[in-house]
Structure 1
Amino acid sequence: MKSLTIAAAALMLTAGLAQAQTIRMGTEGAYAPYNFIDDATGEVTGFEIELGNELCKRAELDCTWVRNDWDSIIPNLVSSNYDTIMAGMNINAERQAVIAFTQPYTPPTPSAYAALAADVDVEGGIVAAQTSTIQAGYVAESGATLIEFPNPDQAVAAVRNGEADAILADRDFLAPIVEESGGELVWVEGMDRVALGEGIGMGLRQSDTELLEKFDAQITAMKEDGSLNDMIKKWFGDDALLFE
């Protein structure tokens, strides 16, 4: 009887450890091509989903994806509603005071202003941005009037309906929208490449140092074997900024 009890306890412990290795990956699902909803399947997809799945596979972690609105994505990480953030989140000092980041998995990519006319005054006008982004912070300090929206699509709509003069967002997010607008939206002259942030990384709780090290090691490996650059080119095109 005693041996059966010990065996059962060992089995429960093993199961508990396996369950502990299931990592909940937080994302927004509204920031193509980084992360978005596949209309056919209703599931999240995009560059970060493919990358996150590959990092988990290499680190031998069982991962699942959790969607969360952008404006509460950091508080819900801190509250342990998931274990990581992969949501087009630029690394900056303000966020590093609250959460930890892996090394960036994209080079620092430019932001850009888009508008209905190329000569819009983005320093004296009304500029839309997604709330709690580095772009919103930049606009707030630029002298322009900032209006914030829960997601970037609403910020684009604000420009189209005349509520805002321009939008500031990641250039990679805006580029297909500008291209597909048929000339309705254009880059603001001289403001189509604005340097912000330190690159995009995975956010984790500051206490999860072991998990951070696991993901960091795999990001390094993907940089060294070229697979990360291949994935960046797949999702952002041959002209995308790559790691050297």
Structure 2
Amino acid sequence: MDSSLEICTNLIGRAKNIVVLTGAGISTESGIKDFRSKTGVYQIAPEYILSLDFFYRNPAKFYQFAMEHLYHPDAIPNKGHEILAKWEDQGKVQHIITQNIDGLHQKGGSKNVIEFHGTMKTASCLHCGKVYPTEEMVSRIPTMEGFYVCSYCKTKRERDRYIKPEVVLFGDTGEWFSFEGFNTIIQLIDQADCILVLGTSLKVTPFSTFPQYRRQGVPLIIINIGDTPYDHEKGVYIINDSIGESLTQIDRKLSISVDVFER
């Protein structure tokens, strides 16, 4: 085990209140494309397609893009997801705050998950709030011309009844973008004794600002293939390697330590 992995293992071993921040990098190990790499979603289509304005102007085209590139019902959690769930069960990980919309943390067994950018699991009417499972939207698309229009409320303007996937788009707001939502996240960060960042470059605001709210002296561990703006700060520990492999090695080392201690 190299020195950086050894140091991070010791820090995680001592921690009792870890808050985890995750991005697309943890999901790529489950076969889901990220957004900003050379092979990511933004190379397939410009960011404007993922905007609220585009959704209102072209709801059918938006759904076509979203179902092809954002909805991954068959994806399964990888070792990274599973180890985070294990550490949560052990009382070590307290919360996961994720940019991902794929639900893989919950599939992997994690319970305390904040989906900062929403979820592709459901869609809802922008007027009455009626929730539609995405599976139902999939079945509506080939059978209804206006599949994206709510069938339950009767407002005069059709666009007021559009059913939008519950993801946060550009120009959009979400549950966690409110004052109360931000305050909750900042309090979680402030209470943590270790911040673990997985698979995000921390270059997109406001998510990128969250590590700044950790208390002085609280370690920030970043496992990510690319660089981040925090890499050269004091108290930051970097592993530029696979998330699943790195967490597997750390967990194995922690398990050995516990076995030795219990003997």
Same fold, judged at TM 0.5 (above): no
TM-score with structure 2 setting the length: 0.26
